[in-house]
Amino acid sequence: MTDDLAPENLTPAESVLVQVFFDEMHRIVLQPFAGIKDIPEAIGERKRFMEVMALLIVFLKKLGADRELTHKLSNYYASLRDLERGTTHPILLAKSLNHKPPLSSDVWRSRATLAIALDCLVAANVPLQGAVATVAKIPGIVKLLSSPTANVASSLKNWRNTLGEKSVSSEVAADRWATYLQDVEQSAPTDAMSRQDWFKETAKLLLDVAKGDIANMPVRRHSV
């Protein structure tokens, strides 16, 4: 939030508008969404994205944004709507590469989630091999591997190592690891027993998140 939108700088009317905006954004992004129950997860999430764009445009108009800005944002919204109609707008076309494209952000995000869960278990004094065995039980983990024949245990260790060494190529994964380190610094208890319990509980939450994300992930062609 910029200084201009800080609560103490808002008029009563603006405060109401901002609160309505946050409430609507929370509903769209985080609450069960009517109409997407029986369609593929990715398409449902795209519908959420479209509603976010529509809400942003309305909000900016209410704040007095100029027509040029809202018109440009409306064009972005229209490009998403084109996808709903089976047409790909030029701004949403994948970039042409002279090599295999990298793994998508959803794969890297789930890799990072599992690597962090593994790190939490180790921090909770679970032996590395036992921690790896626990994480490797996540259904569908093969969707995250570089190839169908890749070793799950080795892959998990490698994801954790590359994140810890800050040598991972994915910004999404690197950001997730950085957030984890920040959470440890700010939230983890200092006494040994409480800290161990905190890491175990965090690992459990992360594994639940990864399980849901991977379940909704389509089977993909493998690339290195």
Compute the distance between CA of residue 135 and CA of residue 158 in angstroms, rounded to an integer: 13
Q: What is the pLDDT of residue 68?
A: 94
pLDDT at 36 > cutoff 60: no
CB atoms within 10 A of CB 29: 14
Selected residue with higher pLDDT from 14 and 142: 142
Which pLDDT tens digit goes with each residue over 212-224? 889 877 765 544 4
Compute the distance between CA of residue 92 and CA of residue 80 in angstroms, rounded to an integer: 8
Among 129, 124, 190, 176, which Cα is nearest to 157's?
Answer: 129
Residues 6+ apart with CB under 8 A from 214: 110, 138, 139, 140, 141, 143, 144
| Mean of all residue pLDDT scores within the chain | 86
CA 61 to centroid of chain Cα atoms:
28
Selected residue with higher pLDDT from 44 and 72: 72
Cβ burial 132-160 (10 Å sphere, 16+ → b, else e): bebbeebeebbbbbeeeeeebeebbbbbb
Q: Are the CB atoms for 74 and 57 separated by under 8 Å?
A: yes
Confidence of residue 51 (pLDDT cuts 50, 70, 90): very high
pLDDT at 167 > cutoff 90: no
Q: Are the CB atoms for 105 and 94 separated by under 8 Å?
A: no
Confidence of residue 71 (pLDDT cuts 50, 70, 90): very high
Q: Are the CB atoms for 211 and 139 separated by under 8 Å?
A: yes
pLDDT at 166 > cutoff 80: yes
Average of pLDDT values for 4-14? 74
Q: What is the pLDDT of residue 35?
A: 58
Lowest mean pLDDT among 18-22, 34-38, 100-104, 148-152: 34-38
Domain residues of the chain, as ranges?
3-92, 105-215
Tokens of 13: 């009317």
Which pLDDT tens digit goes with each residue over 97-120? 776 766 788 899 999 999 999 999
